[in-house]
Amino acid sequence: MEYEIFLIRRKNEVMKRLLTLLFLAFAFVGRSQTVLRFEALDQTTKDPISRLMIVPIVNGKYAEEFYTDLDGEAYLTVNNTDTVRFHFEHVAYEVKNAPETKVYDYKDTITIKLKLIWTRTRDLREVEIRAPGVPDTVYQSERLSVCDFEFLPNGKMLLLTYPKNYKRGTELLYYDPYTGPFEIPTKEKPLELVRDFRGNPHVVSEKDVMGITNYNEKIQLSHIDKAYYMSYIAPIVDSNTSRYFFSNYNSLYPAFDYFTYSFVDSSYRKIAQIEDEFMMELYRSEYKWVDIRTKIWAKEKEFETGIDAEVWVGATYFTQSIYYKEVYAPMFSRNDTVFVFDHYKNLMFRYDAKGDLMDSVSIYYHLRPKESGWKKLLLQDQVTGQIYIVYENAGKTTLQHFDSATGKLGEIIPLYFRYADNIIIRDNYIYYVYRPFESLQKKYLYKEKMAINYPEAITFRNQKPY
C-alpha cells in the first residue's frame, strides 16, 4: 500500500503585530526540515507493532527502507520542499486509513499514526523432499511448452514458452512457484533469453533487447537497442568492483583475446590470448584454393579495411564448411579468482581480481571428445560458483564436477532423463527442459538435487545490480 504526503511551504499571513511577524520570520529561516514520527498500532488491541517496513519514495525515487522498533515507532527527517510517498508492508498486518498529512515549515515533528489490521496468517506450504537424482517438475502446462528459461537475481524465473510452434509465436512468463505464472507483454516476438555480466536476464527479439528487473515484486522493463547491446554489453564476460573482463570474440575467427578494463584509471590491457592453431592453419589456407575472382575481391577488402585477404576468405568460405569449429575457451569467476579454460593449450589459467596471472593447471577432459562425449560445454553454478563438465553419450547427459584447485574431475552426476535441453545449475540444483520421446506431453521444466551441497560463494554474475 502507498500513501502520499505533500510537503509544502505555507504562505506567510499578514500579522497584526510586528513582534509576531518577526518571530515567525526567524522561525521559518531556522527550520528547513521536519521530523516524521511513525506510530504503528494494532487497531483492535492498541498494542504497538514492530517490524513494519516503511519505504520512502522521495521526489519519485526509492530511498532505503526502515522499520518500526519494539515500541512501534520509527522516525524520518525530510526536507520541507520534498514530495514524499510511503510504501508500508508487514508480514501479518495491513495498514488501513493512513492519514494524508500536510507538513508546514513551522512544525518540528509530525506524528503519523498508522492503524494496522490483522489480515492473515502465513500458511506453510507442503514441502516435498526428494532424493538426489530424482526429477521434480518445476513448471508444466497443458497449453505451453518451455523452450528457454532464466533466473532473476531474486531467484524468480523467466520462462520463454510457445503454444504450438516456436517459429509462429512465443509468450514470455514471469514465474513464481508460490503465486504461479503471469504473462509479460512484449511488442516483438521474444527469440531467446540471455544473461548479462551482472546476472540480469534479457529478452532478445529480432530488433530489440529488453532488460527485465524485479523491485518490490514489481516487474520493470527497459528497452535497449540491439546493436548497442551486442557491441557494448554482450562482449563483457564478468565484472567486479574495480574492473570489467571482456573479450573480442568473433564466431567467424578461430582466435580471440581477453581484456580487463579498470574503472579507476579507464585503462585496459590484454590478459589472455586464445587461438586454435590447427584451425587457424586451415582457415588461412582456404585462400590458396579459391578462384582468382575471389582472391581479387579479398585483396580489395584488405586494401579497404586493413584486414588480411586470407581472413576475408576464411570468414566467408571456410566457416561455412563442415571442418570449421568455433573457439571455445570460457571464463568464470568465484570469490576473488578468475578462471580461463584454454582448451588449445590444455591449461586452465587462474587470475586474481585485478586480472594478474597467478598460476595454471593442466586439463585433459576435453581430449578425445568422441570417446568421452564432451559436448564442448562447461557450466557454473550461479550461486555456489562450482564448475561442471557436460557430457552426452547416446542421449544420456552426465555432469562431472571440476576441481579448480587441482584440475581433477570429481563425482559423476547423471541426469534422470535422456536428451535434456537448456541445462542451468543453481544452488546445487540442475534445471533443464525435457519432453518424453514420441509423447504428446509439452516440454516441461524439471530440476534435480545434487548429492553434495557446496556452500554459497561470490560470483560476479550473481551479485546484485549496481
The per-residue pLDDT for 127 is: 56
Model confidence at 125, pLDDT cuts 50, 70, 90, reads low
The per-residue pLDDT for 22 is: 46
Are 201 and 157 in contact, with CB atoms under 8 Å apart?
A: no
Model confidence at 269, pLDDT cuts 50, 70, 90, reads very high
Residue 10 reports pLDDT greater than 50: no
Are 338 and 350 in contact, with CB atoms under 8 Å apart?
A: yes
Show Cβ contacts of residue 458 under 8 Å, excluding neighbours closer than 6 positions. Answer: 334, 335, 336, 385
Model confidence at 180, pLDDT cuts 50, 70, 90, reads confident
Show Cβ contacts of residue 352 under 8 Å, excluding neighbours closer than 6 positions. Answer: 336, 337, 338, 358
- Residue 130 in grid coordinates: 526428494
Are 52 and 90 in contact, with CB atoms under 8 Å apart?
A: yes
Are 225 and 208 in contact, with CB atoms under 8 Å apart?
A: yes
β-strand pairing of 171-176 with 157-162: antiparallel
- Residue 201 in grid coordinates: 536476464
Residue 452 reports pLDDT greater than 90: no
229-251 per-position pLDDT tens digit:
999 999 998 888 788 999 999 99
Residues 313 and 425: their CA atoms lie apart, in Å, by: 39
Model confidence at 121, pLDDT cuts 50, 70, 90, reads low
**Burial of 392 by CB count in 10 Å (0-12 exposed, 13-18 middle, 19+ buried)?**
middle
What share of residues in the chain are helix, strand, coil (percent, to 5)?
15, 45, 40
Model confidence at 223, pLDDT cuts 50, 70, 90, reads confident
% of the chain exceeding 90 in pLDDT: 47
Are 78 and 107 in contact, with CB atoms under 8 Å apart?
A: no
Show Cβ contacts of residue 57 under 8 Å, excluding neighbours closer than 6 positions. Answer: 2, 63, 84, 85, 86, 87
**Burial of 448 by CB count in 10 Å (0-12 exposed, 13-18 middle, 19+ buried)?**
buried
11-27 per-position pLDDT tens digit:
444 344 444 544 444 44
Return the number of other C-beta atoms located less than 10 Å from residue 65's C-beta: 13
- Quick one: average pLDDT of 392-411? 92
Residue type (1 letter), 41: L
332-346 per-position pLDDT tens digit:
999 889 999 999 999
The per-residue pLDDT for 103 is: 52
The values of phi and psi at residue 56, to 5°, are -80, 140
Are 331 and 237 in contact, with CB atoms under 8 Å apart?
A: yes
- Residue 111 in grid coordinates: 506524528
Domain annotation for the chain: domains and CATH numbers: 2-118 (2.60.40.1120)
Mean pLDDT, the chain, integer: 84
Residue 80 reports pLDDT greater than 80: no
Are 381 and 449 in contact, with CB atoms under 8 Å apart?
A: no
The per-residue pLDDT for 432 is: 96
- Residue 250 in grid coordinates: 568473433
Are 353 and 242 in contact, with CB atoms under 8 Å apart?
A: yes
**CA distance from start to end of the chain:** 27
β-strand pairing of 102-103 with 2-7: parallel
